[in-house]
Amino acid sequence: MIRSERPNFLLFITDQHRADHLGCAGHPLLRTPHIDALAARGCRFTEFHVATPICQPNRASLMTGRLPSAHGLQLNGRELSHGEKTFVQSLREAGYRTALAGKSHLQNITSVPPFWPQGVERLVQESKALFPGRYGQEVARRWDEDDAFELDLPYYGFEQVALTIGHADEQSGHWRRWLRRQLPDADRLIGPDNALPTPDWALTHLRQAWRTQVPEALYPTSYIAEKSCEMLQGFAAGDAPFFLQCSFPDPHHPFTPPGRYWDMYRPSDVELPHSFDAELIDAPPPVRWLHAQRANRPAHFKPGHGSFAVTHQEAREALALNYGNIACIDDAIGRVMTELQSLGLAENTVVMFTSDHGDLLGDRGLMFKGGLHDGGLTRVPFIWSDLASSASPSSLAPRETTALAQTIDIAATVLARAGLAPVHGMQGRSLLPVVTGQTDVLRASVLIEEEGQRLDFGLDQRIRMRTLRTLDHRISIYDGQPWGELCDLRADPLELRNLWNDPASQLLRMRLMGELAYAMLGQTNTSPYPLASA
């Protein structure tokens, strides 16, 4: 069979995965041989940042190549408009076959009313009227209650979808239906109330970790690998190029690594981040508030999805189970890569690895995400492995780069590598000059956004943040607040000393505020394209 000369694309993406939690990133304990193998034959970015450190908005930024302020899905609880064009749609229009196995989260996964604004049904109806089309397609309850419920295909450009919804061992979508076919009593195995006993685990009492009874072979990570392999087999039977997104919901909490992965790493062997007990100089109010909350926890405290301050034991357990989840994912990636090789597709497939955002996981004594832009949250892995390139072998040698890059760059890079023009309004840049070794300077800074929905940190308004990050500094501002964060990343890579109020740093603060303003202006939305002069 004569295959297309156009490259295939395989994108592996995880959920809430720090950039330093990889063997190839120098982690002293965690082993990730299959992901490391991708880096060994590709380009690994060490300064790759999200557009926003929140699941749903950043996944929309990946798909559109646009910041949340441009595509409109600025916070969890909104849905990506069908009026936004994804790069997967562009590939499909150009003859690519497209598929997704795993997590999407481009639409809401619950029907729980919004935290902000509350009780304003008129505004809910107005929002629905603004975005015609079918939404709510990923609401877990609808999948669980109606076996006939399905996505409208193509779904944001994906012709095939094997969907998982949610986290841990309680996921819904196609996986839950598949699990019930394998095990008629499957619902008696999932969730914390059906878990194997782990009474000595602090996170179990917080309902942020439990030892699942779901077998390794039936866990969502294994299901996603299996469906990815089946999709690759289908692609191999044809001659059209393909794009496959293999999207794992782990290592996002709650932590439920299955089988041997639960105790593959022991909390007693885990080293806490150096910043865990370090002195924090002029920490911003959210950090001080979180630490005060830890000191005054109620007896039956249960954390939500946002940041919270942790004890040493809680942090050690979270890190150990996070490593177990990542090891499980790494083995699944190895399985998919073996299938890619056996089908004869590897030599013409660009393989990528990334995550939607990071996790504090002990940095400054905190965990999870929300309201802060520490590097552990905004910096994620990105590996580009391109054996299909016709560039010179020397330019494709394994390399690492400190080039500042972002999630919004993935769409532009894939389209450029496929020989396709970017969609008008895309704000990302092609990374091809970097991955081919032509340059290590793509931009001077990255702009990171965040819009919160909850009132948190003892504040009387929701979090609205903007951050400018260069290789040397980070400045973060909060809407309506006189305080912010300013860090010297060269002198203080752990971001422990806030220079916002430091008298000697006021000129630096003013300069970076100006650069932030220009970055925000430069990323103003230019879509849709004008149809006339007036």
Q: For the chain, give every domain's residue range.
A: 8-443
pLDDT band per the 50, 70, 90 thresholds, residue 101: very high
Q: How far is CA 103 from the centre of its chain?
A: 11
Q: What is the spatial distance between Cα 254 and Cα 300, in angstroms, rounded to a whole number?
A: 17
| pLDDT for residue 392 | 46
Q: Is the pTM of this model over 0.85?
A: yes
pLDDT band per the 50, 70, 90 thresholds, residue 1: very low
Token readout for 251 is 């290592």
Residues 91 and 243 sit within 8 Å (Cβ to Cβ): yes
| pLDDT for residue 396 | 59
Region 453-477: what's the mean pLDDT?
94
Q: What is the spatial distance between Cα 380 and Cα 360, in angstroms, rounded to a whole number?
A: 12
pLDDT tens profile 56-93: 999 999 999 999 999 999 999 999 999 999 999 999 99
Fold of 8-443: Alkaline Phosphatase, subunit A (3.40.720)
Which residues face 246 on adjacent strands? 12, 101
Residue with tokens 């849709």: 528
| pLDDT for residue 448 | 99
pLDDT tens profile 203-232: 999 999 999 999 999 999 999 999 999 999
pLDDT tens profile 516-528: 999 999 999 999 9
Bridge pairing between strands 97-103 and 160-165: parallel
Q: What is the spatial distance between Cα 365 and Cα 312, in angstroms, rounded to a whole number?
A: 8
pLDDT band per the 50, 70, 90 thresholds, residue 239: very high
Please report, for residues 54, 204, 232, 240, the alpha-carbon distance to residue 368 in angstroms, rounded to integers and kept in the order given. 11, 16, 34, 41
Is the pLDDT score of 4 beyond 70?
A: no
Is the pLDDT score of 330 beyond 90?
A: yes
Is the pLDDT score of 394 beyond 90?
A: no
Token readout for 270 is 């885990």
3-state SS, 428-460, equals CCCCHHHHCCCCCCCCCCEEEEEECCCCCCCCC
| pLDDT for residue 13 | 99
DSSP secondary structure code for residue 396 in this structure:
G
E strand or H helix that includes residue 205: helix 202-205
Least confident of 118-122, 164-168, 242-246, 356-360: 118-122
| pLDDT for residue 2 | 44
Region 178-193: what's the mean pLDDT?
96
Please report, for residues 25, 219, 496, the alpha-carbon distance to residue 375 in angstroms, rounded to integers and kept in the order given. 15, 31, 11
Q: What is the spatial distance between Cα 488 and Cα 465, in angstroms, rounded to a whole number?
A: 19
